């Protein structure tokens, strides 16, 4: 154990976070996301599992160490509700609150159609799967500069 590092951030996730540079993207997702399949296409090329942890908790822990990109309009992307472009599910507001609190400002979150989200996730640095049951708990975070 190390002091000051949230214990939900396992060694593999910490390693991936340390390897990332500004502009790299990190996917945090629920257990329903095809994470293993998509992870093979990422820079890290393997899935990072954070078992026993939900999206809100992991988002809060990651964002204590991970600045969001201030050079893009929407440094966070999420999956749209299929068949309902304006649809909302509770996890959207939960993660929005967590990112706004971590950044100390209102952060724009962009909604992407399901298959567009999958293609964007393939371009990410790494995919981190939580134990969150979802649905629609799929978010892409763009790393900023410290």
pLDDT in tens, 79-131: 999 999 999 999 999 999 999 999 999 999 999 999 999 999 999 999 999 99
CB of 120 closer than 8 Å to CB of 22: no
Residue 12 CA to residue 90 CA, distance in Å, equals 29
Terminal-to-terminal C-alpha distance of the chain: 24
Strand partners, 138: 29
Considering the entire predicted model, what is its pTM? 0.97
CB of 39 closer than 8 Å to CB of 123: no
CA angle, 89 as apex, 114 and 92 as ends, to 5°?
A: 80
**Residue 1: is its pLDDT beyond 70?**
no
Cis ω for the linkage preceding 135 (within 30 of 0):
yes
Encoded tokens for 13: 């996730």
Closest CA relative to residue 32, chosen from 142, 119, 143, 118: 118
Residue 129 CA to residue 48 CA, distance in Å, equals 6
**Residue 44: is its pLDDT beyond 80?**
yes
Q: What is the CATH number of domain 11-142?
A: 3.40.1650.10
CA distances from 129 to 21, 24, 51, 55 (A): 21, 17, 8, 9
Helix (H, G, I), strand (E, B) or coil at 1: coil
Active site residues: 22, 69, 118
């Amino acid at each position: 154990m190390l002091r000051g590092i949230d214990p939900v951030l396992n060694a593999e996730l910490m390693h991936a976070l340390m390897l990332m540079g500004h502009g790299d993207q990190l996917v945090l997702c629920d257990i329903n996301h095809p994470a293993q399949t998509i992870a093979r296409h990422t820079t890290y090329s393997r899935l990072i599992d954070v078992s026993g942890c939900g999206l809100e908790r992991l988002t809060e822990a990651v964002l204590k160490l991970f600045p969001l990109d201030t050079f893009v309009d929407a440094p966070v992307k999420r999956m749209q509700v299929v068949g309902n472009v304006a649809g909302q599910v509770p996890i959207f507001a939960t993660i929005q609150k967590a990112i706004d609190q971590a950044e100390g400002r209102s952060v724009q979150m962009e909604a992407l159609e399901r298959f567009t989200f999958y293609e964007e996730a393939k371009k990410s640095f790494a995919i981190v799967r939580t134990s969150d049951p979802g649905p629609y708990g799929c978010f892409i975070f763009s790393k900023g500069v410290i």
